Amino acid sequence: MEFRLLGPVDVVDDGRSVPVGGAKQRALLAILAIHVNEVLPADRLIDELWPDEPPASALNTLQGYVSRLRKALDPDGKNGSQPAIAFRSPGYVLSARPEQLDVRRFERLVEEAGKRSARGEHSGAAHLLRAALGLWRGPALSDFAYEPFARAEIARLEELRLKAIEDRIDADLACGRDTELVSELEALVADHPLRERLRSQLMLALYRSGRQGDALAVYHDARRTLDEQLGVEPTGALRERQRAILAQDAALDAPAVRLPVPVTARRRRARWLVGALAAALLIVAIAVGAALRERGSAAPAAVAVHPHSVAMIDPSSNRVVADLRIGGWPRAIASGQGFVWAARTGDDSVVRVDPVGRLVLDSFFATTPLDLASSGSAIWIANGNSFDGPNPPGGGTVERYDVNRQKLTRTRVGPAVPGNAEQTVVAAGREGVWAGNSDAARVYRLSPRTGKVVATVPTTIQVAGVAVGGGAVWAADPVNDVLVRVDPKTARVIARIQVADGPRRLAVGEGAVWATSEFPRSGVWRIDPGSNRAVAHIAVPRRAAWVSVGEGSVWVTSNTPGHAGPARCRVSTRRRTPSSRRSISASVQRAS
């Protein structure tokens, strides 16, 4: 359940808006959401709801509002003795996790963007800030704009929004996106004529666009406006920007590399085996970093794995711990460039996901994407067949998507065999970019710059998965239950590792090789590259398919043949001691 304040007050459960009653009842919910996890005394709530003159029955009316809100937020009574709104002497409290409030997610994304900007990762910061600003559906708490209880929070959130816009513009300017910012900045300056930072940004964008005179005119207009309205001169920062423009200071020049604005998702009609896939689950197993490891609660928590969703795993204990949704029949997944990339066969697209804010940022079109890899500024897509007609458009090919140039090129690495949708796989790492093809029984080395085949390695296995890392190329054969280790320098097999349950997709990271298996047990095998042995098996509900490791995370996708309800992972935490990193344990069961 999500509580939304960045726009009209709304409660959303499983993608649907929850009716929460009339104006006063909605106002009570808004007050509690503003002060989430904080006990508000009953008399304060009464004063907030009836600032002029509370009725004699105010306390009884307040109790009635609380009762009806509880029923609206939990119509089936699943929360039992732990309702979302609880009585805590001397009043009431709305209990919610940070990710359940759009305000907290917005603040977290802005904070992470600031860290990335400080590290010089301006493009990533701009993406995060766009995602943060995308949470806004209009003015904050817009249906209570004139209520005294909301004024301070509205002012606070509006200031945060404007600062996030200014931060995003700074990040875009650092990436060389100046000309396209001019019109946006002109509109912002017109709306906020006293914000000197916007004036300074507009001056820089105009100067870099070859409009030095217009840039100086912005300064003179700012000086006149400040004098007429406030009787003050521009700050030193704005005066310094004017001086630098007059001196044509080289520090104002645009950066050498100009990055594009994010790609708009290109939608195509879904054309995959609805009967065969019917329901797809994306279970993303993340090795959560320090934030999750520091959570030491003895109370158990339930994590529901939804269709088309993302979940999280603690790698130190090999346990599932959380879930989020991305939609679109997701299949393959990869990590790189500070993001997670997921293939959606439902609309033939690859989406970019922010692993911190857990949001889809943008996407690009690909031909039936079934496997993904990331290297440098490129995303690699192994294409599958479409069953719409007799001529498979993507089977036996690998596409290279240049993120900076937004250009897609294709290379054939095997025959297009009708009926074999998943014949081609791809992987990338320090050992290069490699593709495998089950029908050709070969592994191919691709040029990272062009995507063309530069070396061919014949194999004796039906390659269903390939990964690179740890100084080796790894290929999985589910037919013979074997994992093959190849020396990338000599192109020779140096080890064969027995892995039960038909290993298919592979990934390398976190000190291990990870292999998904489907039958008879669904899960992920952990292989120790030092001993060339399988050392652990992690159960994953339904049929574990693709796996990727990156951004401090392990990501796994899972398919469900036919139609089935969602799985539910019951997760409990144990308080962590300084000598132990393991803090999460879990069991998996099917939801009723």
User: Among 144-158, 300-314, 361-375, 532-546, which stretch is predicted with the lowest mean pLDDT?
Assistant: 300-314
pTM metric for this prediction: 0.54
Please report how many Cα atoms fall inside a 13 Å half-sphere around the Cα of residue 104, on the Cβ side.
13
Torsions phi, psi for 141 (to 5 deg): 50, 40
Q: What pLDDT, on a 0 to 100 scale, did the predictor assign at position 418?
A: 65
Q: What pLDDT, on a 0 to 100 scale, did the predictor assign at position 566?
A: 27
Strand 533-539 versus strand 512-517 pairing type: unpaired
Q: What angle do CA 290, 553, 164 make, to 5 degrees?
A: 70
Residue 101 DSSP one-character state = B
Architecture of domain 188-261: Alpha Horseshoe (1.25)
Calpha distance 547→545 (Å, rounded): 7
Q: What is the pLDDT of residues 131-144, one digit of tens each?
A: 889 889 999 999 99
Provide the CATH number for the domain formed by 274-590 in this structure: 2.130.10.10
The domain limits of the chain are 1-175, 188-261, 274-590
Checking if the pLDDT of 355 tops 80, the result is: no
Reported as a pLDDT band with limits 50, 70 and 90, residue 323 is low
Q: What pLDDT, on a 0 to 100 scale, did the predictor assign at position 309?
A: 63
Calpha distance 261→178 (Å, rounded): 11
* Chain position carrying tokens 């097999």: 493
Reported as a pLDDT band with limits 50, 70 and 90, residue 321 is low
SS3 of residue 122 by DSSP: helix
SS3 of residue 54 by DSSP: coil
Fold of 1-175: Arc Repressor Mutant, subunit A (1.10.10)
CB 196 within 8 A of CB 222: yes
Q: Rounded mean pLDDT of 38-48? A: 94
Q: What pLDDT, on a 0 to 100 scale, did the predictor assign at position 313?
A: 61
Checking if the pLDDT of 414 tops 70, the result is: yes
User: Which residues lie closer than 8 Å to 485 by C-beta, 6 or more apart?
Assistant: 472, 473, 474, 493, 494, 495, 496, 497, 529, 532
Q: What pLDDT, on a 0 to 100 scale, did the predictor assign at position 258?
A: 43
Checking if the pLDDT of 28 tops 90, the result is: yes
Q: What pLDDT, on a 0 to 100 scale, did the predictor assign at position 580?
A: 28
| H helix and E strand count, the chain | 12, 34
Calpha distance 330→281 (Å, rounded): 7
Reported as a pLDDT band with limits 50, 70 and 90, residue 271 is very low
Checking if the pLDDT of 245 tops 90, the result is: yes
- The mean predicted confidence, pLDDT, of the chain is 78
Checking if the pLDDT of 92 tops 90, the result is: yes
Q: What pLDDT, on a 0 to 100 scale, did the predictor assign at position 365?
A: 84
Rounded to whole angstroms, what are the CA distances from 418 to 114, 384, 399, 442, 463? 49, 10, 19, 19, 17
Percent of the chain with pLDDT over 70: 76
Q: Rounded mean pLDDT of 227-256? A: 92
Q: What pLDDT, on a 0 to 100 scale, did the predictor assign at position 523?
A: 86
Q: What is the pLDDT of residues 554-573, one digit of tens each?
A: 777 665 433 222 222 222 22
Which of 413, 414, 405 minimizes the C-alpha distance to 379?
405
Q: What pLDDT, on a 0 to 100 scale, did the predictor assign at position 320?
A: 65
Checking if the pLDDT of 255 tops 60, the result is: yes
Rounded to whole angstroms, what are the CA distances from 345 to 269, 368, 425, 557, 589? 10, 6, 15, 13, 27
Q: What pLDDT, on a 0 to 100 scale, did the predictor assign at position 150?
A: 95
Q: Which H or E element spans position 353?
A: strand 349-354
Calpha distance 43→66 (Å, rounded): 14
* Chain position carrying tokens 């344990």: 585
Which of 132, 83, 80 minimizes the C-alpha distance to 357?
132
Reported as a pLDDT band with limits 50, 70 and 90, residue 367 is confident
